[in-house]
Chain A
Amino acid sequence: MTLFWLLAVGLVITSLLTVTARRPVYSVVYLIANFVLLAITYVTLSAEFLGVIQVIVYASAILMLFLFVMALLSTSTAPFSVGPDRLPGIVGPAVALVAVIFGLLVYGVTRTPLLIVPRAQPVSAAPGTANAFGSTSDFGAALMTTHLLPFEVTAFVLMVAVIGVVMLASDAAPQATRHHARRRGPRTREPITRERPALEKGSVR
C-alpha cells in the first residue's frame, strides 16, 4: 500500500515535469524516470515480463531514439529557441478541456461493472515464480497459444514501420527523380526543398 502511493506520487510528479520541462532533453530524462517507476508498478501488478520490456524497449530504445533525433536536430541551428513554447491563450481552454475529460473519466469509471471484482483474488506466489499468474512462462504461453494472432499482427506492424521509416528517412527524393539521382554516383546530401532543374530535362551530368 505504501509502495503504491510512493509510486503514484513519483509517477505524477515525473509526468508533470515531463510535460512542463523547458528543454526537450530534460523532458526525456524525466520520462525515463517515469518509465522506470512505471516498470516497478507493473511488477507490483504481477506483470513482470512487461516490466522488463518497459525498461528495455521504452526507457532504453524509444527514449534513446528521441535523444538521437534531438542531437540530429540541434546540430545545425537552434530550432527550439524560436518564439515562445506555448501559445499565449491556450492554458485556459486546455485546462477546461482536461477538466471535462476528467469528469467524463470519473463518470465512466464509477459506472463500469468491471471495477467490481467478484472476489479478492490474491496471487500467492512471489514475483519470479514460474507458472504463477503474470510470470514470464505464463505470459509466454498465453502469447504463443491463445493470443497468437495479435502476436503475428505485431510482427506485421513492425514490418510496416520499418518500411515506412526507410522510405521516409533514407531517400527524400520523389520517385520520378530517384532513378536519375542514383546514376550520378555518390549521392550528395542537399536540402530537399531545393528544386532540381537539371534533372528535369534528363540531362546527365
Chain B
Amino acid sequence: MTPVASVALVNYIGLSALIFLIGVAGVLTRRNPLIMLMAIELMWNAANLAMLAFARAWLNNAGQVFAFLVITVAAAEAAIALAIVLITFRRTKNVDVDEIASLSG
C-alpha cells in the first residue's frame, strides 16, 4: 500500500539534489527577479524533499516539523521579497537586477 517502501533513500536525495541544482542554475542565469524568486522557491522545496525523505527513512517526526517551518519561512520570504520587487519597480521603473545597483556603492 505504501509505494515508498521499495524506493531507496538515495533516490530521493538524488532527486532533491537535482531540483536544488536546477534552482541554483536559475538564480545564476536569469535576470528577472520574479523568476529568480521562483528558482529560490525550487531550492526551498528541494530541501524540504530531502528532509521528508530522511524523516520517512528514520521514522522521525522532526524532519516533518522542520519542513513545516521551512514552508512558513518561505511564505514570509516570498511576501517580503515581492514587496521589495514592487517598491523597486515603483522607484526605478525597472526590474532588471543588473540595473539595480544603488546599494553596491
A residues sitting closer than 8 Å to B (CB atoms) are: 1, 3-4, 8, 11-12, 15-16, 18-19, 21, 24, 27-28, 31, 34-35, 38, 41-42, 44-47, 49-50, 53-54, 57-58, 61-62, 65-66, 69-70, 72-73, 77, 79-80, 82-83, 85-87, 90-91, 93-95, 97-98, 101-102, 105-106, 109, 114-115, 117, 120-127, 133-134, 138-139, 142-143, 146-147, 150-151, 153-154, 157-158, 160-162, 164-165, 168-169, 172, 191-193
Q: Which of A50, A94, A120 contacts B64 (CB 8 A)?
A: A50
CB-based contact B75/A61 at 8 Å: yes
Give every chain A residue within 8 A of B35 (Cβ-Cβ).
18-19, 21, 24, 27
Give every chain A residue within 8 A of B23 (Cβ-Cβ).
15, 19
Known pairs A50-B52, A58-B45 / 8 extra A-B pairs, C-beta < 8 Å: A19-B35, A24-B32, A27-B38, A38-B45, A85-B31, A124-B1, A142-B64, A161-B80
B residues sitting closer than 8 Å to A (CB atoms) are: 1-7, 9-15, 17-26, 28-32, 34-35, 37-39, 41-42, 45, 48-49, 52-59, 61-62, 64-69, 71-80, 82-87, 89-96, 98
Question: How many angstroms from the CA of A8 to the CA of B49 in the assembled complex?
Answer: 11
CB-based contact B29/A91 at 8 Å: yes
Tell me the nearest residue of chain B to A170, going by C-beta: B83
Q: Which of A38, A41, A106, A121 contacts B57 (CB 8 A)?
A: A121
CB-based contact A117/B3 at 8 Å: no
CB-based contact A73/B95 at 8 Å: yes
Given A42-B52, A143-B65; A115-B13 close (CB under 8 Å): yes
Question: How close is B103's CB to chain A, nearest CB, in angstroms?
Answer: 16
B25, B37, B69, B84, most chain A CB atoms within 10 A: B25
Given A97-B24, A146-B61; A46-B56 close (CB under 8 Å): yes
A-B contact pairs, 18 of them (CB 8 A): A1-B3, A19-B25, A24-B35, A27-B34, A38-B48, A42-B49, A79-B89, A82-B94, A87-B98, A98-B25, A102-B21, A120-B5, A122-B2, A134-B55, A139-B61, A160-B76, A168-B80, A172-B87
CB-based contact B53/A158 at 8 Å: no
CB-based contact B38/A153 at 8 Å: no
Question: How close is B37's CB to chain A, nearest CB, in angstroms?
Answer: 7
CB-based contact B79/A69 at 8 Å: no
Tell me the nearest residue of chain B to A138, going by C-beta: B61
Question: How close is A123's CB to chain B, nearest CB, in angstroms?
Answer: 5
Question: How many angstroms from the CA of A66 to the CA of B78 in the assembled complex?
Answer: 8
Question: How close is A72's CB to chain B, nearest CB, in angstroms?
Answer: 6
Give every chain A residue within 8 A of B32 (Cβ-Cβ).
24, 80, 85
